[in-house]
A and B are shown apart, each in its own frame.
Chain A
Amino acid sequence: MKNLIRTFLVAAMYLLSGTVIAQDKTAEMSISFGKEDDKNVCKVALVSEGKPAAEIAVKLYVKRLFGNLQIGEEVSTDETGVASFEFPSDIPLNSEGKLVVLAKVEDDENYGSIEEETQTAIGKKVDLTQLELEKRSISGADAPLYFIAGSLIIFAGIWGAIIYVILLVFKIKKSATQTN
């Protein structure tokens, strides 16, 4: 019985301490953009219980078609609870002219995982007019017009000859009835 109680207590303490280690505080994250020395800067601020959360590793990502593109290296928040990232201005914007930016704290010993998402218009606008003009391509869904025209000319030439020869066979029959 003693053993059982001891095991129960050890297990309870272990679980309790585990929870404490995993996450004992909550933090709120906010993302803002600004300029420093002509460079775009993305600032991720972490606030916990009204106070800045320092020394927390933050990663910044931009959402792309098949996954998230990490921006720079992991940055830790300073004593004001802010992690600053230099934000590039040449990432192609999506069709709505926006970038979806994600800031993440991953498995922090105090705060666990935190994620915040926002949108920005900092980036490169993709000029799709040329692509629209060249919608037809060898690798695309529709073939280029010259390709279709060339194929049809070859196809018509060969099949024209075959049909002409078949018509000759009917002419053979016709020439027989004429002589008869």
Chain B
Amino acid sequence: MIDKDFHPERTKNETFTQDEYMEMKADLLKPIQHIGLWGKVWIGFLIAVIFAGVYAYYLQETKSKYVTVSLRDYTMWGVYISNFVFFIALSMIGVLMSAVLKLTNNEWYRPLSRIAEVVALGAICFAGISIVVAMGRPDRLHYLFMYPRLQSPITWDIIVVITYVVASMVLLYIPMIPSLSTCRNHLSNMPKWQMKMYEWLSFGWEGNPEQWKLLRKGVKILTIMIIPLGVAIQTVDAWLFATTLRPEWDSTNFSGYFISGAFLLGTAAMIVATFVIRKAYKLEKYLTEMHFDKLGQAMVLMASIYIFFNINEYLVPAYKMSSMHANHLIDMFIGEGALMYWMVVLFGLFIPAILPLFPSLRKPLPLFVIALIAVIAHWFKRYLIVIPGQLHPYLPIQDVPESWTHYTPSAVELTIVAATFAGMLLIVTLFSRFFPIISVWEVAEGKLEGKDEIINYK
């Protein structure tokens, strides 16, 4: 069923002339040259949401937190932390698209890798911000660096998040050097500062063999390194929970559960990002139906693996139904959290695992709809992992205030969460406005299929 369709992109031996190369460059530089009205409205909207978030944070820090946020003694980690887990999972998109596919010679990664890396960078930056927002005493943030306790998962988290941010930035930047030189040489009518920025960032790139050799070496090292780093960041994130004494987090499978969930979310988010960028910048020639077909297949695989881990996480404890797990599980299966739980199972697990099995549903639009629903479901999935279980502590206290036994995020919390999303999307949007969102040389190199060297094209 999967390989029934004929894909000309996969079977044709391609090469191109210098003129065609120039056309390719012109196509891929076009989004930088013109911002339409809708583009401006979109950027304005994102900035407005960010300002609303900044104001909400100002309220949170100046008024009593007991009033502005819904966190209490039981639910000590609320929507900020579930949002953090979501962004950490989303950052795995870069690992999957630019490292796993590249190292396994899946050539279709080429036009997707930069999109994935930008989304990953945006996600990891706002994951970090989500943690700071969740801190009760942000004025003591520097204590984490001054008095780190090396055995604490919190310390590992700081180390691994910072390392991943830097590695993602370098991995995004290095393959972009030839593209920046292309911008410098081919763009005209741009503001002076923008041209100066390309000049400065292209680091004297002239495309000589020695420079290509150095560039490939750097990319190779980072590509290999980003995989264990990606696994490490998900694992530390999972261990933050697994090493905390709450029954539903008491799992030896947690890191595998988080990694597989991150791969599924990454694939779904990639489909959404590819669809939107393809439509907004009219890049149908480069982001083809073949890419959606492949991403759809990848989503089926990732969803199947994630279903397996979910069975481990829910059905094994449910089979034993120990008193510690029972409260939480019954709450999820038939209780207060049941509606959200089963919606997530349906839209976040089964729909992405089953529907893309049909080739007609791997076309861009239907796949985009499936993926978008899956991304939303996965945000709620992180909410379900983090929050409901905290309402059932190991040592329940008698006569606790009513507000401890329920958690609903406050308006302040939701505004800040919305602002983190706007911030992440603004990074991706602005990046695509100033830099080629598809790597020209990587796409061209893919089309050459080894018959010629990209160095020969200027």
Contact = CB atoms under 8 A, between A and B. Distances in A.
A169 B218 contact: yes
A133 to B, nearest CB: 18
Interface in A114-138: 138
A138 B215 CA distance: 42
B229 to A, nearest CB: 7
Given A138-B151, A147-B150, A169-B174, A162 B166 contact: yes
A8 B149 CA distance: 69
Contact of A148 (B150, B173, B174, B221): B150
Interface residues of B, number: 26
Contacts, number: 68
Interface of A: 138-139, 141, 143, 147-148, 151, 155, 158-159, 161-162, 164-166, 168-173, 175-177, 179-180
B208 A158 contact: no
Given A165-B170, A176-B205, A176-B208, A158 B225 contact: yes
A159 B159 CA distance: 11
Interface in B157-187: 159, 163, 166-167, 170, 173-174, 177
Contacts of A175: 208, 210-211, 214
B208 A169 contact: no
B166 to A, nearest CB: 6
B121 to A, nearest CB: 15
Scoring A159, A165, A170, A171 by chain B CB atoms within 10 A of each residue's CB, the highest score goes to: A165
A165 B150 contact: no
Contact of A166 (B150, B170, B211, B229): B170
Contacts of B229: 158
Contacts of B225: 158, 161-162
A179 B215 CA distance: 16
A172 B173 CA distance: 13
Contacts of A176: 203-206, 208, 211
Closest 7 CB pairs of A and B: A176-B204, A143-B150, A168-B218, A173-B204, A175-B210, A165-B218, A173-B203
B149 A141 contact: yes
B203 A169 contact: yes
B222 interface: yes
A136 B25 CA distance: 59
Given A168-B174, A168-B217, 8 more contacts: A151-B150, A155-B159, A158-B229, A162-B170, A169-B174, A172-B203, A173-B203, A176-B206
